[in-house]
């Protein structure tokens, strides 16, 4: 077998190509229609051109129909490097889509979709989440291809759409195409830490909620003629916050953060002027819940609280369920893919990786529901979704070396 030092030297020699590829992909926005974007089509087109130029054995595109985007679909790209054996495949999964840039004036190093290299950092929206891992996986296999090394397994690189909004048009669509076999193993490269020594094997359950209070809008000087939805909305949100934190308060040290979290997040504009009492109030909650709890029971408690406030205030209160994802069975730290990944990290980086759970949702949850071996890992500083988001070039190269060892078996 080829010495790993030769493979690592080859990857080091691809540093400039990796930087250029990452910066090029960052420059193409891939924002979901829910957030005012036109999806991933243009970015997928650039990616396919890159993959074909680098000489992958096969590149396929699976378009999930979506009439909200101009091209009518959400592309999922799969690139293959054929291995010695095809009885079992290794899949490395990253995602094409990115979140919106947020307030542009908060970006002080570059415009969100105009990347810049600052020392060891490539700054731009989507650099860490998930461009770094996307490029790492590509150039890990590029190095093997240049060296004439055939992977132990056929390796499929999967670049999915719609990860940031629930994966309906991404990995869930691909799973329906029956690409993946039960004995395959998968690395989702979309969560980790700065040391590269953490492997995610469990995720919390997820609820995204939209809470709408309907009162009666009136002039600010005549509250007696109306029903202030803003005041009721604040009362309801605070009561819901207290109820959930107090009742669902167990702690599980496997997870970071170890407890369930229930966070009021987005608040929609209710009125345009200060002298108008609002007749509508809309608040969103992001709930990350330990697997020990049943989501249907949580929702029943929420609905009971809302019915109580409807009777108390005479407002109409509705709950819209935006996302509901129950946590599947946890991976064991003796699972095959976890052991293989630990070994590759040890050989490439000289560190012993630990396992644990996270509150953030990844594509791995859907593989676990199908009983497919999966682990989540990459080396990141954890600044996704922030202004001045960046990827470390050194981490991108180090992760490529781990992926290369995984592919070599």
pLDDT surpassing 90 at residue 329: no
Rounded to 10 degrees, the C-alpha dihedral 17/20/23/26 comes to -60
Burial class of residue 200 (count of CB atoms within 10 Å of its CB; 0-12, 13-18, 19+): buried
Provide the mean pLDDT of the chain. Answer: 95
What is the pLDDT at residue 100? 97
- Dist. CA 347–CA 163, nearest whole Å: 31
What is the pLDDT at residue 58? 97
pLDDT tens, 262-295? 999 999 999 999 999 999 999 999 999 999 999 9
pLDDT tens, 140-196? 999 999 999 999 999 999 999 999 998 999 999 999 999 999 999 999 999 999 999
Here the tokens at position 197 are 């020594």
pTM of the model: 0.86
- Dist. CA 285–CA 207, nearest whole Å: 8
Of the residues 66, 128, 129, 163, only one is catalytic, namely 163
What is the pLDDT at residue 239? 98
Q: Is the peptide bond before 393 cis (omega within 30 degrees of 0)?
A: no
Cβ neighbours of residue 293 under 8 Å, at least 6 residues apart? 205, 248, 250, 260
- Dist. CA 155–CA 189, nearest whole Å: 14
Instruction: Give the percent of the chain with pLDDT over 70.
Output: 99
pLDDT surpassing 80 at residue 392: yes
* CATH fold for domain 4-202+327-408: Aminopeptidase (3.40.630)
CB atoms closer than 10 angstroms to residue 12: 12
Q: Check: CB of residue 113 under 8 Å from CB of residue 372.
A: no
pLDDT tens, 215-235? 999 999 999 999 999 999 999
pLDDT band at 1 (very low <50, low <70, confident <90, very high): low
pLDDT band at 198 (very low <50, low <70, confident <90, very high): very high
- Dist. CA 241–CA 285, nearest whole Å: 9
- Nearest-Å Rg of the Cα atoms of the chain is 23
What is the pLDDT at residue 346? 97
- Dist. CA 214–CA 233, nearest whole Å: 9
Q: Check: CB of residue 201 under 8 Å from CB of residue 357.
A: yes
What is the architecture, at CATH level 2, of domain 205-325?
2-Layer Sandwich (3.30)
pLDDT band at 332 (very low <50, low <70, confident <90, very high): confident
Q: Is the peptide bond before 355 cis (omega within 30 degrees of 0)?
A: no
- Dist. CA 102–CA 114, nearest whole Å: 14
The two domains 4-202+327-408 and 205-325 share their CATH topology (first three levels equal): no
Domain ranges of the chain: 4-202+327-408, 205-325
Query: Which strands sit side by side in the sheet containing 261-267, from one edge to the other?
Result: 261-267, 280-289, 205-214, 316-325
pLDDT surpassing 70 at residue 388: yes
Beta bridge partners of 207: 287, 324
pLDDT tens, 70-87? 999 999 999 999 999 999
What is the pLDDT at residue 331? 63
Please, what is the end-to-end C-alpha distance for the chain in angstroms?
10
What is the pLDDT at residue 402? 98
Give all strands (DSSP E) within 139-226, no chain letters: 153-160, 185-188, 198-203, 205-214, 218-219
In this prediction, residues 366-378 reach a mean pLDDT of: 92
**190 belongs to the catalytic site:** no
**163 belongs to the catalytic site:** yes
What is the pLDDT at residue 89? 96
Of the residues 97, 164, 335, 399, only one is catalytic, namely 97
């Amino acid at each position: 077998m080829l010495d790993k030092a030769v493979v690592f030297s080859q990857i080091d020699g691809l540093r400039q190509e990796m930087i250029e590829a990452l910066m090029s992909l960052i420059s193409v926005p891939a924002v979901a229609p829910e957030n005012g974007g036109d999806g991933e089509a243009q970015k997928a087109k650039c990616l396919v051109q890159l993959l074909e130029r680098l000489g992958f054995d096969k590149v396929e595109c699976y378009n999930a129909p979506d009439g909200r985007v101009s091209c009518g679909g959400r592309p999922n790209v799969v690139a293959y490097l054929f291995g010695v054996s095809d009885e079992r495949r290794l899949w490395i999964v990253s995602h094409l889509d990115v979140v919106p840039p947020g307030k542009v004036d908060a970006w002080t190093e570059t415009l969100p979709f105009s990347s810049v290299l600052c020392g060891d950092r490539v700054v731009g929206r989507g650099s860490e989440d998930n461009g770094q891992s996307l490029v790492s996986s590509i150039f890990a296999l590029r190095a093997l291809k240049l060296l004439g090394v055939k992977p132990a397994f056929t390796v499929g690189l999967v670049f999915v759409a719609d990860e940031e909004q629930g994966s309906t048009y991404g990995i869930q669509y691909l799973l329906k195409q029956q690409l993946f076999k039960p004995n395959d193993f998968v690395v989702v490269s979309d969560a980790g830490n700065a040391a590269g020594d953490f492997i995610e094997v469990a995720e919390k359950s997820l609820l995204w909620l939209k809470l709408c209070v309907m009162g009666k809008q009136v002039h600010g000087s005549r509250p007696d003629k109306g029903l202030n939805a803003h005041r009721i909305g604040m009362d309801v949100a605070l009561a819901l916050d207290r109820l959930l934190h107090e009742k669902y308060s167990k702690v599980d040290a496997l997870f970071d953060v170890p407890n369930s979290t229930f966070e009021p997040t987005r608040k929609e504009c209710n009125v345009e002027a200060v002298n108008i009492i609002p007749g509508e109030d809309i608040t969103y909650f992001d709930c990350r819940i330990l697997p020990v709890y049943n989501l249907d029971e949580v929702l029943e408690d929420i609905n009971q609280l809302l019915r109580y406030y409807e009777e108390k205030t005479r407002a109409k209160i509705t709950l819209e369920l935006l996302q509901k994802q129950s946590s599947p069975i946890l991976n064991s730290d003796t699972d095959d893919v976890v052991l293989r990944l630990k070994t590759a990290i040890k050989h490439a980086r000289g560190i012993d990786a630990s396992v644990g759970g996270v509150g953030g949702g990844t594509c791995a949850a859907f593989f676990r529901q199908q009983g497919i071996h999966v682990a989540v890992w990459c080396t990141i500083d954890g600044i996704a979704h922030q202004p001045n988001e960046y990827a470390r070039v050194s981490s991108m190269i180090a992760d490529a070396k781990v992926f290369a060892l995984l592919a070599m078996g």
